[in-house]
Every structure is written in structure tokens, then in C-alpha cells.
Chain A
Amino acid sequence: GAVVSQHPSWVICKSGTSVKIECRSLDFQATTMFWYRQFPKQSLMLMATSNEGSKATYEQGVEKDKFLINHASLTLSTLTVTSAHPEDSSFYICSARDLGSEYSNQPQHFGDGTRLSIL
């Protein structure tokens, strides 16, 4: 159980285009999902918290107009990188926790990530 799926696994696109990444909880519901970014040889950095039915909360230094987050249902959050440029190339990872978990200390589960390469 507790499977989080991301799509696509990898994408290559030209500079200036927008790219949408999907994060789905396959066997549970999640009011909150998280988006991370990871550059080569570095750790995961939290970008934003995606809240179902309301606006996302962005970490300091993350441009909300560049990284658009939509959490329209309890099983789907999307991250759109708008007008992507080479410096946006990175590994993007989402996570979620089972809403039905009785205990708030239950762990988050992560997707397998999306490798984005902007040419």
C-alpha cells in the first residue's frame, strides 16, 4: 500500500516551454502533498506544500508564478514549471501521507521522481 506515482519519469524540452508533472496517490487519499527538487549530488529541497482545495504554500526563495501547483483532488497534485530554462533542469519529487492514517506520525511516501532536462 501507500504508493505514490509520478508522471512523466523524465522529460526533455526546449527552453521557454512549460512542463507539467503529475503526482498521484494510487491507493490512498492525501489532503497535503509535497514537492521537492534535487540537484545533482545534493539533498532534497522542499519547494512547496500542496493543499487540496486551497493555495499551495511555497518555501522561501521559490517563485510561485514559475512553479504553479494545483491540487484539485485528494489523489492528484500537479506541478507546472512555466517558461522553463536550463537552470530549472533538476530532479523533481513529490510525496504524500495517507489521510486515513490514524496517527499523524505516519510516514510520507515518495514518488520515483521526474527528471527534467531543459535544452
Chain B
Amino acid sequence: DAKTTQPTSMDCAEGRAANLPCNHSTISGNEYVYWYRQIHSQGPQYIIHGLKNNETNEMASLIITEDRKSSTLILPHATLRDTAVYYCIVRVQGGSEKLVFGKGMKLTVNP
């Protein structure tokens, strides 16, 4: 079973920041948080990952709470092309490389 919970769906206005929450209250100390997204009829696309520090790349920012029980993916300026299902996944470093996908969250960016 997936070890994360996400809202089923969220809407965001184009050009605004999209803040996507994820709860991983049972996360272990050596587990990373990964974010992927899947645009309709395509394979998942890697976005970002982190352990405990906040991370930023060209696509998004990842904010992880101090207790690591939850995180937020931030798309700073959402575009229509960001409409997708977003998956938050936790995985142990150095352990099985399996990624267990939950149901994810459908983000719809509206014009």
C-alpha cells in the first residue's frame, strides 16, 4: 500500500502558484519523498525529491515539514500544461528501488 495520502483533486488558476500537499505521517528517517506527475496517456515524469531539506529545481519547489510528516510541492507559476495527476511517493534510500504509486492528485489548471 502507498504510504502517502493526497487530496483527490485540486484546481488552480493559470499563472498562480499551485501548492500540492502530501501527508506521509509514517515516514521513516531514511525515506525520501519523491514527486512525479503523469499527463494523460504518458509515462510519469520525475519532478523533484528530498529527504528533509527544502529543495528547488527548474520545475518546482519541495517544502518538507520539520517533523517530515508532510510536504508540499509548489509549482510557482502554473500553466495549462501542468494539468496532470501528481504522485507523492516515499522510498527508502538504498533499499528496494520499487516505487509504490498511490492514487495521486489530479491538478487542473484553469485559464
**A residues near B, CB below 8 A?**
4, 6, 32, 34, 36, 43-46, 49, 91, 93, 95, 97, 104-105, 107-113, 115
Complex: how many Å from CA A45 to CA B102? 9
A111 and B100 contact, Cβ closer than 8 Å, known pairs A104-B94, A105-B32, A105-B49: no
**B interface size (C-beta, 8 A):** 24
A104 touches B99 (CB 8 A): no
Contact of A111 among B34, B43, B87, B102 (CB under 8 A): B43
Q: Does B43 lie within 8 Å of A93, measured CB to CB? A: yes
Bound CA span A93–B49, Å:
21
Q: List 23 A-B contacts (CB under 8 A).
A: A34-B97, A34-B99, A36-B101, A43-B87, A43-B101, A43-B102, A43-B103, A43-B104, A46-B98, A46-B100, A104-B93, A104-B94, A104-B97, A105-B49, A105-B91, A107-B49, A108-B99, A110-B36, A110-B43, A111-B43, A113-B41, A113-B43, A115-B41
Classify the secondary structure of A's interface with B.
strand
Q: A113-B41, A115-B41 are in contact. Are A107 and B101 (CB under 8 A)?
A: no
In the complex, which residues of chain A have a beta carbon less than 8 angstroms from the beta carbon of B87?
Answer: 43
CA of A4 to CA of B46, assembled, Å:
12
Given contacts A43-B102, A43-B103, A43-B104, contact A108 B42 (CB under 8 A): no
CA A10 to CA B94, docked complex, whole Å:
34
> B65 at the A/B interface (Cβ < 8 Å)?
no
Within 8 Å CB of B75, what residues of A?
none
